[in-house]
Amino acid sequence: MQIRDFYKIICFTNFIALALQLIPIMMNLRTEFPVEPGEYEGGTSDGYCFHTCFSGATLEHSLCMVRDFLKEAGYGELPLPANAEELRMFKLPSKKNRQVCMFEDNGYVHNPIKILFSERPNQLKLLRLEIYDENAPNHLLRFHRRLWD
């Protein structure tokens, strides 16, 4: 091996190391759920629930962003709606009676995630994602909104 070849290997290794530092590494929410309230990965957490929003050019794009985020966060095996049309079937039928939304989730719910539609009529493509910490005490009560802190 010549010195020139050795130099190329070192430069390539340094390039890879630098590139890996520039790539943001997402925290696996399922195994490392944030216990302290604050902002994480573009959303907020209260220690029990992580909230974030996704808005694409269409509802289908927003759902794809949610699906990709869930895969990166360790929730890739959860069943999700196949497409935007299927997701719309989980939307509450009428927004005229806003009191109904106080008691039901307006969107897809599968423990430990909720993919909810926005309450505002001008935000039809916005999806709110809520991820609940499965290891938190009284997790199911919080998930089904039977317990508040």
Query: ω before 112 within 30° of 0 (cis)?
Result: yes
Cβ-proximal residues to 56 (8 Å cutoff; 6+ apart), any chain: 62, 64, 65, 125
Rounded to an integer, the average pLDDT of 33-60 is: 90
- Output the CA–CA distances (angstroms, integers) from residue 63 to 7, 52, 55, 69, 85, in the order listed: 46, 13, 9, 10, 11
Per-residue pLDDT band for 26 (boundaries 50, 70, 90) equals low
- pLDDT over 50 at 38, yes or no: yes
- pLDDT over 50 at 22, yes or no: no
- pLDDT over 70 at 58, yes or no: yes
Report if residue 148 sits inside a domain: no
Report if residue 24 sits inside a domain: yes
Nearest residue to 128 via CA among 52, 37, 56? 52
Cβ-proximal residues to 55 (8 Å cutoff; 6+ apart), any chain: 62, 123, 125, 126, 127
Per-residue pLDDT band for 149 (boundaries 50, 70, 90) equals low
Report if residue 108 sits inside a domain: yes
Per-residue pLDDT band for 18 (boundaries 50, 70, 90) equals very low
Report if residue 137 sits inside a domain: yes
Domain count, the chain: 1
Report if residue 89 sits inside a domain: yes
- Domain of 35 in residue numbering reads as 3-143
Helices (H), 1-149: 3-22, 59-72, 84-88, 139-143
Report if residue 136 sits inside a domain: yes
Report if residue 32 sits inside a domain: yes
Per-residue pLDDT band for 40 (boundaries 50, 70, 90) equals confident
Report if residue 149 sits inside a domain: no
